[in-house]
Every structure is written in C-alpha cells, then in structure tokens.
Amino acid sequence: MTYENILVARDGRVGIITLNRPKALNALCDALIDDLGGALDEFEADEGIGAIILTGSEKAFAAGADIKEMKDRSFMDVYLSDFITKGWERVASCRKPVIAAVAGFALGGGCEVAMMCDIIIAAENAKFGQPEITLGIIPGAGGTQRLTRALGKAKAMDLVLTGRMMDAAEAERCGLVSRIVPAEKLMEEALAVAGKIASMSLPITLFAKESVNRAFETSLAEGLRFERRMFHAAFATEDQSEGMSAFAEKRPAQFKHR
C-alpha cells in the first residue's frame, strides 16, 4: 500500500514506520492515524516481521493530535465519532513488539502514542509532555492513565496539570524511557534492539508481551496465574525444544517460528 503521511520500510525482520508530516511536526491528523493503522496491519500480518520501530524526524516524533483539524469540532462531533479511541488504540493493540524511537517533541498525542509502544528509546534531544491543559482540554489518548502507571501520581500530576515538557534525562530517571542515546545513534540503537527481539521465537515473544501487559490489567494473583499458563504453553512449542536443546549442545538456537 502507499501512504501519504508515513514512510514504511523494512530491515530484515524489522518493520520501520516513520511519521512523515514535517510541515506540522508530525501532528497526528486523522489521515496519518489511518496510515499508521494500515502499516501496522500489514506488518502484523507479515510472518517475516518480528518487531516494529515507530519513529519520527529529528525535530519531532509527533507534536500531538492535529490542533488545526480538531479546533472546530463540537462535543457531538467528538462524542459520536468516538474521537481518539478510534484508530489510535491500534498501536496499543499490536501483538508484535513496537519500539518507539523518539527524537525531538513527543507531546500530547505524540507522547501518548509513544507510551502505547512497548519500549521507548529516546534521543538526547527528546522532549515529552502532555500540554493539553494549555489548550483547554485534557489528554484523550491515554495520557492520564498510561503516564500515571509509568511514572506514578506525583510526576503524572505535575506534567498533566502544568503542561510542561520534560527532557530525555528526566524521562529516563522517572522510568518512561528505557535508554537514551545520542541523536545520530537513535536508529542504529533502535534497529539493534528490534533486530535482537525479532531474532527470538515469534510466538514466544507474543507470549512474553501479552504476559507483561497483563500486569497492568489484573491483580497479582491473576497475573501470576496467566503467566504460569503461558509458561506451560511455551512447552508445547517446537521453539522451546530447540531453544533448550541448542543451549545443551552449546550452539545458537535456530527457532522455527521467527
């Protein structure tokens, strides 16, 4: 498929989606969200893809939902069309691991989309924030919930109520991003991480992602029960047999499903 607002590429078993609306700092207009969903559908259906990188430009991962597109919408417009839920949650519902490689601004919906990904790798110039309050709205794509789970109440309240930005160092200190790299190394690092993930067994990777995500949805007892079931199910796969045999035989595993 061809897309107007994103670029799509692949590097071995890694799918790469680059948000590409430079004139609007990758503001997430409806058409871009549709493109993003289409690309994720394609990569998800492709057995040759084991992990996905979502990135933007050096200046902006994404500066939020498109304010110009949104500004004249009424309550009835956004309510009846279920604005934000529709389309946006596609990133969170992706079963394959998605790595956000963030340089520059990740604000509002941009920060929320990054948080829908599984791992955030930040360039030194990355800036995160939920500035919606300055526009007379609140975050609408999960910011109040995912930020609070990721950073805790104190930091989430600080960001959501003041609308201020935090830099990459602060984002790493409070656990939002998993690592910071020099801007020129961002894609190299993201590709190394995504390539490593994509070299594992795909079904086992899906088990692992689903199990970690379960921690946000259930009690500890339920989460542990779920993990145990997935752990047991891993023993039904050829890749468990191959992974453990390879260890015993001191050779690299040749997973069948990857």
Annotated catalytic residues are 65, 109, 112, 132
As beta bridge partners, residue 10 has: 15
Decide if residue 102 touches ligand CAA (CB under 6 A): no
Q: Which is nearer to ligand CAA, 118 or 132 (CB)?
A: 132
How many CB atoms sit inside 10 A of residue 66's CB?
Answer: 20
Decide if residue 63 touches ligand CAA (CB under 6 A): yes
Q: Return the residue of 103, 108, 116, 255 that touches ligand CAA, per CB under 6 A.
A: 108
**Contacts of 144 by beta carbon, 8 Å cutoff, 6+ apart:** 130, 138, 156, 160
Decide if residue 92 touches ligand CAA (CB under 6 A): no
Structure token pair of residue 121: 């790798």
Decide if residue 67 touches ligand CAA (CB under 6 A): yes
Q: Note whether 208 and 227 are within 8 A (CB).
A: no
Question: Phi-psi bin for 109: left (phi > 0), alpha (psi -120 to 50), beta?
Answer: alpha
Residue 168 Cβ vs ligand CAA, minimum distance, rounded to whole Å: 15
Decide if residue 141 touches ligand CAA (CB under 6 A): yes
Instruction: Please calculate the CA angle 185-32-116 and round it to the nearest 5 degrees.
Output: 60
Decide if residue 24 touches ligand CAA (CB under 6 A): yes
Q: Which is nearer to ligand CAA, 109 or 203 (CB)?
A: 109
Decide if residue 56 touches ligand CAA (CB under 6 A): no
Site for ligand CAA in 192-231 (CB under 6 A): none
Q: Report which of 56, 64, 216, 65 is spatially closest to residue 146, judged by C-alpha positions.
A: 216
Decide if residue 25 touches ligand CAA (CB under 6 A): yes
What's the rounded Cα separation, in Å, for the pair 169 and 180?
A: 8
Instruction: Give the residues lining the site for ligand CAA (CB under 6 A).
Output: 24-25, 27, 63-68, 84, 105, 107-109, 112, 131-132, 135, 139-141, 143
